[in-house]
Amino acid sequence: MDTTALAWFFGLLLPPLVAVLYSIAMLSMYAGFCEWTVSEKLPSLAWRLGLLGGAAAITYSDRYATTHGSNISETSRMEISMMVIESALIWVLSFYFLLETRLEDIVGGTDPNGRVPKDCIKGKIVLVTGANAGIGKETARQLANLGAAKVILACRSPKRGQDAMEELRKNQQEDTMKLSQLMVLECDLGSFDSIRKAVDFLKGRQLEDIPKIDVLILNAGVMMNDHVMTKDGCETMMQANLLGHYLLTRMLLAKNMLKPNKKNPPRVLHLSSSTYQIAVSHHGGMDMDDLFCNKGKRQYSLFGQYAQSKLGNILFAKELARRYKDKLVSLAVHPGLVRTDVTRNMPFILYYGNLACAIFMKQLQKTVAQGAWCSVSGATISVDAGLMSTHELDTPESGTAEPEDSTDKEEPKGIPNGSYLQNGKVRQTDTYTYLEADARKLWDLSEKIVGLEQE
């Protein structure tokens, strides 16, 4: 390859090629994980690609005319200078394309912490499940830095919770986190007995330093390759991701630790996933006849059962909002595709394949801190507790209701209660999730399984 060809390739062809391949990889991966459809993202990507392609075409034609039939050494200094400038322009546009694709389509925007309304979380008590690692630990750190009076790290292992708390305090860049701000609570979502003990412990401190829970973040979740049943007789993934959180929420309500009220409604965030759509497309919705894949009606699979549990999170979020309308805020939150250790229980090929491709996968996934931004947004975003999430169906683009005549109707005070947040923004979910009958059925079934029906 001669000097001219090398100049063309590295100066002109390589940067846009990398940018285009990056967008194709992102589109394929995110469509595969049901983050959004290809048609949703094509318009925003098309104008970037058009801008880049147009600049590349002009530069290419100019350079071809200049260097055709000659070597670089035969061209004038002015021509070489123009080539360098044109190449720099292509590099800048390509870099912009890459950054814009990552910021808008993968991360979903900039850090919301700087836009959080003043004092919206200050003085509040927050409980985060699964807070010893990953998104949960980072969420705890960010909310503590925003001024939460106390952040309770609910963890299955007290030791790992203690280690996480010490790490959070140790890694503070500024001395803003007080010793009293963080507390570890032993709470194994795979054990109904452990959950009840955890709530009883909090109840015992209600007259001391934990009068109530202002924000409950149901963050913990697992992905299990093997079909494993808990001692409570439930499939592990369904219990840890859904039923354990259902019991925790109901017990906090029963013990008056979550206090529904119109003036200052408590907030419950249910971390879900866009993969819930797999459950809808493959099974038509929540399979409540074989919830644990132990009756022979549905074959167990990692993604299939995970999708069922995440669909359950959304149904639970919407039903909780309906039952405590005006008095409690309930939101489903999807943090996006985040680089965590969730693959530890995946099949051999997926686990080691993920490790081998780590350097590439990181470029297509959010960091843990960026994933936690979604929980922070859910904890601080303005919500109209009396406006139900079915209103999203009228305005699927924004998810927020706009009155037909602003002179006759009152403007909404915030996003609808029961909304689904993806990357910190309201997104309309599949129409199945708005079926109140199925949400009520799951609520009643969960009540029976966790033993609340008898209490």
Kindly list the structural domains of the chain, giving each domain's residue range(s) and its CATH number in brackets, ordered by start.
Answer: 3-107 (no CATH), 120-454 (3.40.50.720)
The pair of three-digit structure tokens given for residue 164, joined into one six-digit string: 């996480």
Q: What is the dihedral of CA 12, 15, 16, 17, to 10 degrees?
A: 100
How would you label 194-206 residue by residue, b for 16+ Cβ within 10 Å and e otherwise?
ebbebbeebbeee
How far separated are the first and last CA of the chain, in Å rounded? 80
**Cα separation of 172 and 81, whole Å?**
49
Compute how many other C-beta atoms are within 10 angstroms of the C-beta atom of residue 84: 12
**Cα separation of 135 and 142, whole Å?**
10
The secondary structure of 292-350 as a DSSP string is: TS-SSSS---HHHHHHHHHHHHHHHHHHHHHHTTTT-EEEEEE--SB-SSGGGGS-HHH
* pTM for the structure as a whole: 0.87
Asked if 306 is an active-site residue, the reply is: yes
The secondary structure of 47-75 as a DSSP string is: HHHHHHHHHHHHHHHHHHHHHTTS-GGGS
Which run of H or of E encompasses 39? Answer: helix 38-67
Work out the burial of residue 174: count CB atoms within 10 Å of its CB; fewer than 13 is exposed, 13-18 middle, 19 or more buried: exposed
Q: Which of 30, 246, 276, 306 is catalytic?
A: 306
Phi, psi at 185, each rounded to 5°: -125, 120
The pair of three-digit structure tokens given for residue 67, joined into one six-digit string: 């260097």
The pair of three-digit structure tokens given for residue 59, joined into one six-digit string: 């530069």
pLDDT in tens, the chain (455 residues): 455 556 556 656 777 778 888 888 888 888 888 887 778 877 777 777 776 666 666 666 655 555 554 554 555 566 666 667 777 777 888 888 888 888 888 888 888 877 887 678 999 999 999 999 999 999 999 999 999 999 999 999 999 999 999 999 887 655 566 777 999 999 999 999 999 999 999 999 998 889 999 999 999 999 998 999 999 999 999 999 999 999 999 999 999 999 999 999 999 999 999 999 999 999 999 999 999 999 988 999 999 999 999 999 999 999 999 999 899 999 999 998 888 766 666 666 666 666 667 677 888 889 999 999 999 999 999 999 999 988 777 654 443 334 334 445 555 679 999 999 998 889 999 999 999 999 999 999 999 999 997 65
CB neighbours of 249 closer than 8 A, spacing ≥ 6? Answer: 216, 218, 258, 268, 320
Query: Which one-letter DSSP state was computed for residue 207?
Result: T
